[in-house]
Amino acid sequence: MSRKYFGTDGVRGHVGEHPMTVDFALRLASAAARVLAPEGGSVLIGKDTRLSGYMFESALEAGFVAAGVDVNLIGPLPTPGVAYMTQRFGCDFGVVISASHNPYEDNGIKFFDGSGGKLSDALEAEIEKHLDGPPTTVESRRLGRAARVDKSRSHYQDFCASTLPPGTNLEGLKIVIDCANGAAYKVAPRVLADLGAEIIPIGCSPNGRNINDGCGSTQPGLLQLTVPGVRAHVGIALDGDGDRLVMVDHLGRIVDGDQLLYVIAKGRHAEGSLRGAVVGTVMSNLGLEHALADLGIGFRRAAVGDRYVLAMLRECGGQLGGETSGHLLCLDRTTTGDGLVAALQVLAIMKQTGASLAELAVAMPRYPQVLLNVRTSRRLDPKSSPEIEAAVQAAEQRLAGTGRVVLRASGTEPVIRVMVEGRDEAQVRAEADGLAAVVGRVAAA
């Protein structure tokens, strides 16, 4: 279903430029209230640490109150924490103000339904239908109220800890935790420390402008240096809104979302609790598929975006899924992708088996994979270009069944992602460079 403003993860853009303006946020709140709480109700609003979060929080609050919806303001909290607390509070829906892994100059607005799940494409399209009209203001006796509920974030911390197997703690583990100067900067270190881990926090001093800046899951270089430097057992890197996870082993090597998904799936399989197929995306490494097959575990690929992974998990009755980037879904523990919860599952397996993260991850071979982002000045569907399609077919013929090619438009940035994967790294690099050049030429035409 065509949507003008909603992408794969809510509405997102550069602050001050349409649609990320105060005026649009006010109208978006009013439109969402009409669709999600037409007779009044309540909403929970959380955010990350971006400076612009304050103005969007105020605009959304005004729009919801004017539409007759009670507003609960929980302040900085990871996106999955807002999903959980929306359900716990019994709110009709929840809102997160965040641009996830993007720089602080960007921001975004995304929604959860009352069960803590992401909205369907159809509901987002319905909200967009109401955006052209002026904001609604109900009669005075029906106006909503607003309240700050910051202290209730401790419920989310307790929930995260409860996802560990009964009797499991983290005593004896030295962990470096990098919160990207983002939404998890308070709750993640507290959860790990309360469970008995010795923690070294980095990226936990937000100033409104340093979110994702040289830290977090998209820039884990500092974490890679710190973990072996302080002789930690493992490192955890979250992104700005806390729903993405990358880990670092004791040698300072990155363990990505595919490898972490394998570790969790193998652990669940060994204890006999794994249900259904594991779901990745078209971008998931071929090594994950082969490693799971060796264990007798089914694997399916969804479109990129954790919402599509979730939809396929529900379709096939599975419980584990995720993306290479670190969006991991453990539906036997929670309703949405949660970086901290996923990290706790890996730490629990380390404790139960006595194995290091390096030992757990080594069983999944990672085939060489090159991902290039080609920036475009206009919307471009790679499949609509005969020149790009011909280049893709030629590359696939040269790979001769030993690799894969995936081209897709990003749902959050004006880029085309070119991914080539195969057994021969030099060939993979050459094919990716060639395809990126073709995409760049077509985009500039």
pLDDT means over runs of 10, the chain (445 residues): 80 96 98 97 98 98 98 98 96 97 96 92 94 94 97 96 96 98 98 98 98 97 98 98 97 98 98 97 92 96 90 96 96 94 98 98 93 88 91 93 86 86 93 96 88
What pLDDT was estimated at residue 2?
Answer: 65
Asked whether residue 3 is assigned to any structural domain, the reply reads no
Which domain covers residue 143, as residue numbers?
11-152
What pLDDT was estimated at residue 198?
Answer: 98
Catalytic residue positions, numbered: 100
What pLDDT was estimated at residue 378?
Answer: 79
What pLDDT was estimated at residue 94?
Answer: 98
Alpha helices in 277-417 (DSSP H): 286-294, 306-316, 339-353, 357-361, 386-399
Q: Are 209 and 284 part of one and the same domain?
A: no
Q: Are 147 and 160 part of one and the same domain?
A: no
Asked whether residue 322 is assigned to any structural domain, the reply reads yes
Q: Are 309 and 431 part of one and the same domain?
A: no
In this structure, the number of other CB atoms found within 10 A of the CB of residue 201 comes to 16
Domain end (from 327, 361, 395): 361
Taking the C-alpha atoms of residue 181 and residue 218, their distance in angstroms, rounded to an integer, is 12
Q: Are 379 and 339 part of one and the same domain?
A: no
**pTM of the full predicted structure?**
0.89
- How would you classify residue 17: left for phi > 0, otherwise alpha for psi between -120 and 50, otherwise beta? beta
Taking the C-alpha atoms of residue 337 and residue 100, their distance in angstroms, rounded to an integer, is 13
Asked whether residue 2 is assigned to any structural domain, the reply reads no
Which element (helix H / strand E) includes 57?
helix 53-66
Q: Are 167 and 143 part of one and the same domain?
A: no
Q: Are 15 and 138 part of one and the same domain?
A: yes
What pLDDT was estimated at residue 299?
Answer: 97
CATH number at residue 177: 3.40.120.10
What pLDDT was estimated at residue 377?
Answer: 81
Asked whether residue 5 is assigned to any structural domain, the reply reads no
Nearest residue to 261 via CA among 291, 296, 220, 216: 291
Asked whether residue 216 is assigned to any structural domain, the reply reads yes
Question: What letter represents residue 334's amino acid?
Answer: T
Asked whether residue 52 is assigned to any structural domain, the reply reads yes
